[in-house]
Amino acid sequence: MSKNTSRNCYSYKDFIALIAEKPKAAEKIALALGSYGKLEKCRYYKVPYYVIRSDGRTILILPSAGHLFGPSTTGRGVPIVKIVWKPLWEFDKAAYYTKTYYMMMSSILPNAGSYINACDFDIEGSVIGYKIIESFGDVKKAKRMKYSTLTKNDIIDAFNKLSPLDLENVNAGYARHELDWLWGINVSRLLMKSFKNETNKSISLSAGRVQSPTLAEAIRRWIEINLYLPKPFLSILILGEYDGKRFLITPKNWSPKTISEAKEIKKFLEKNPVLNVDDYQESKEKVPPPPAFNLGDLQKESSRIYGFSPFKTQSIAEELYLETLISYPRTNSQKLPKTINYKQIINDLSKQSYKNLIDTLLKETQGKLNPVQGREDDPAHPAIYPTGEVPKKIYGDYLKIYDLIVRRFLSAFSKEAILGKSYVTLSDNENRKYKAEGLVVMEEGWLKYYTFSYPKINEIPVLRKNDKVKIIKVDLKTIWPKINVSLSRTSLLRWMERVNIGTEATRARIIELLYKRKYLINKGRNTEITNLGYAVYKAIELVSKELISPELTRNFEEKLDLISKGKYTKDEIVNEAKEFLTKIIKEKLNDKSIGKSLAIALGIEKPEEMCYICKREAKHKVLNYSLCDFHFMALSKIKENIADLVNILEDNDVNILKELSENKSIGLWIRETSKFLINNDIKIQNLKV
């Protein structure tokens, strides 16, 4: 293949124009179909395209760069229902780079004799290719090419089995764009307009099918975390010794009911400092290698191991992909199909710093390379894997992500790890039961390659029934169980994946958007909801409960499915949304409370009553104090639980409130409310809440 633009690049007629979704795909398709004739690489300015000539025909393979067209606005009012599809570069600054692709299509396509939409086989790919052919070619002379992987065989098969253009998918794709646009633009504008009417000020506010449910989930988590009030339990920590080895022993499935009971047991154990072994068991646990990464797994692991945000990880992975160091990263697949040349890749990787690891892997597998396959799949791409190409220079965070991907890939070919577990049951002289657990790695298996999942080792001695374990030391501890809910970019990403909203390409981006809009904010290592975020959520809830729930996505999916099956037209579905939104937006424009609560949230207006504790808008009165929803809920929760706490900790109310106000395992609003009760000398039993 010639690298330079030759005369041939300008002399073709009556050719087949094949549209690919992106430059990388165009290149792969060109290389696969190149066997049909003479292949030449040409350029339209910077954009590469490919020409294949054989006796009878000429094929041009032309890359798009994702969507070149999208719905755009025509006016500034709300409600707005007129949708005009326009080239993205004309109205979206960030998409200006698509102009070259657009110009290439507009200059080459009109001369083609026929067209093939060879974009990814999903509704977005159907729209991408269709809009291009419709704008610059002739959809009546167009066919659809369907391939499941970009490998030579699949591509050649697909090329020889072209289908008619998939108009149903195109219509479903149009509907997806237009529905998202209608809901997003209209509700966003309603929020901004309500705010403007109230304050005469302008700010950027937004709502959407994916961002708004994610904001709602963040708020649910934030409330749960800040109202967290666990039941404490008492534990006895025993340092045991056997055969010179010391290890930790704790009560087995029980705990002292009260502090005084715990103290008595401690005294008893110190007088009778020996435990009898009732039972000792060893077992092996086989842990298979984790599958190769999809984007979500990579984002979670790089957050766990390096503390990178999902967006940062994705940006780095996308650059590594453009440098051809890794395969396509925006994939949900955890599978490594056989069509990937594992052997070649592993061989190439051994030219990098992975040589020793790979020698070990080849020895261990005796050259039989069968990677573990994960459950998750993707319609268009395999899991993320290294290409084997040697990085020119790679360091810092780029190297960290690359290294994660290589090691995860290698470990997929390795053997299961074998963990040795031991469990001992012991009893004291009054027949109370205790336990200790041990964990060791017996065979490393895949952990040799993907070292980031090494378990925490805890060795205990090998014991037999009726062995005597000496008690060295006894400690009492009040344990306040830690909350198991988290609010962070990664936990929101996990949630979006679980409820299946957004896509690989958009989830991290949309999470960042919530911070950019100042709905969410970083406080140290934690994420918090701002007053604005909460007010926007409440306002959207007033407009549509569906829009703050993943149910809207399910609803869209059902409708798109009906369109692609030909049961409804795109216009029927879109018009229905237009009518509904017009009605609800007009109605809510009259609701002054939306603008008012946004103005209060931003401190532009003062609420009628302010929370004594946090100065938020207060809707509750306790004695003479005004409280917001959050601190009022905290107060009820403290009141509900205080009797139990008095019982377990055997202390008075004030001391317990003091503990609650200082203990960092307890939710912020519970701590603040406890402090409020102490400082104002309020007797909680007498309160009506």
Partner DNA sequence: GCAAGGTC
What's the min distance (Å) between Cβ of 288 and DNA?
Answer: 30
* Residue 76 DSSP class: S
Q: Which residues are identified as catalytic?
A: 328
Smallest distance, DNA to C-beta of residue 150, A: 11
Q: Counting contacts by CB under 7 A, is residue 197 touching DNA?
A: no
Q: Does 614 bind Zn ion (CB under 5 A)?
A: yes
Q: Annotate each residue in 120-159 with x if it binds Zn ion (CB under 5 A) or - if it does not, as one string.
A: ----------------------------------------
Q: Which does 611 bind (CB under 5 to 8 A by kind): DNA, Zn ion, none?
A: Zn ion
Contact partner, 65, from DNA, Zn ion, none, Cβ < 5-8 Å per class: DNA
Query: Which one of 200-208, 389-397, 521-529, 609-617 is the stretch in contact with Zn ion (CB under 5 A)?
Result: 609-617
CB of 506 to DNA, least distance (A): 3
Nearest to 53 by CA among 41, 44, 43, 64: 41
**423 is written with which tokens?**
């469990």
The Cα–Cα gap between 261 and 488 comes to 40
In angstroms, the Cα distances linking 6 to 1, 57, 108, 119 are 11, 18, 16, 27
Among 24, 432, 619, 675, binds DNA (CB under 7 A): 24
Q: Which residues contact 442 (CB under 8 A, 6 or more apart)?
A: 284, 418, 419, 420
**Residues 6+ positions from 373 with CB-CB distance below 8 Å:** 291, 334, 335, 336
Nearer to Zn ion, 300 or 616 (CB): 616
The verdict on 98 binding DNA (CB under 7 A) reads: yes
Establish if 588 lies at the interface with DNA (CB under 7 A): no
Q: Does 81 bind DNA (CB under 7 A)?
A: no
Tell me the C-alpha distance between 191 and 110, whole Å.
Answer: 44
Per-residue binding letters, 157-186, with DNA (x by CB under 7 A): -------------------xx--xx-xxx-
Identify residues 624-653 at the interface with Zn ion (CB under 5 A): 628, 631
Measured from the CB of residue 656, what is the shortest distance to DNA in angstroms? 44
68 forms part of the interface with DNA (CB under 7 A): yes
Helix/strand/coil for 143: strand
Taking CB under 5 A as the binding criterion, the range among 53-61, 252-260, 344-352, 603-611 that sits at the site for Zn ion is 603-611
Q: Residue 70's closest CA among 41, 46, 90, 42? A: 90
In the set 40, 124, 166, 659, which binds DNA (CB under 7 A)?
124
Residue 669 has φ and ψ, to the nearest 5°, of: -70, -30
CB of 629 to Zn ion, least distance (A): 8
- Reading the block at residue 528, the tokens are 């918090």
Task: Please tell me the distance from the alpha carbon of residue 545 to that of residue 551, in angstroms, as a whole number.
Answer: 9
- What residue type is assigned to position 503 of the chain? T
Sign of the torsion angle spanned by Cα atoms 133, 134, 138, 139: positive
Q: How many residues bind DNA (CB under 7 A)?
A: 57
Q: Give the interface size with Zn ion as a residue count (CB under 5 A).
A: 6
Q: Are 165 and 563 in contact (CB under 8 A)?
A: no
Query: At 512, is the secondary structure helix, strand, or coil?
Result: helix
Distance CA(655)–CA(666), nearest Å, equals 15
Site stretch for Zn ion (CB under 5 A), options 110-118, 181-189, 408-416, 623-631: 623-631
Opening angle at CA 511, ends 229 and 592, nearest 5: 80
CA 506 to chain centre: 9
Q: What is the enclosing helix (H) or strand (E) of 529?
A: strand 526-529
Q: Which of 2, 6, 11, 204 binds DNA (CB under 7 A)?
A: 204
Q: How many other C-beta atoms are found inside a 10 Å radius of the C-beta of residue 339? A: 14
Residues 205 to 264 in contact with DNA, rule: CB under 7 A: 206-212
Judged by beta carbon distances under 5 to 8 A according to partner kind, the member of DNA, Zn ion, none in contact with residue 220 is none
Minimum CB separation of residue 81 from DNA in Å reads 13
List contacts with DNA (CB under 7 A).
21-24, 63, 65-68, 70-73, 75-78, 88, 92, 94-95, 97-98, 120, 122, 124, 128, 176-177, 180-181, 183-185, 188-189, 192-193, 204, 206-212, 322, 330, 501-506, 509-510, 513
List contacts with Zn ion (CB under 5 A).
611, 613-614, 616, 628, 631
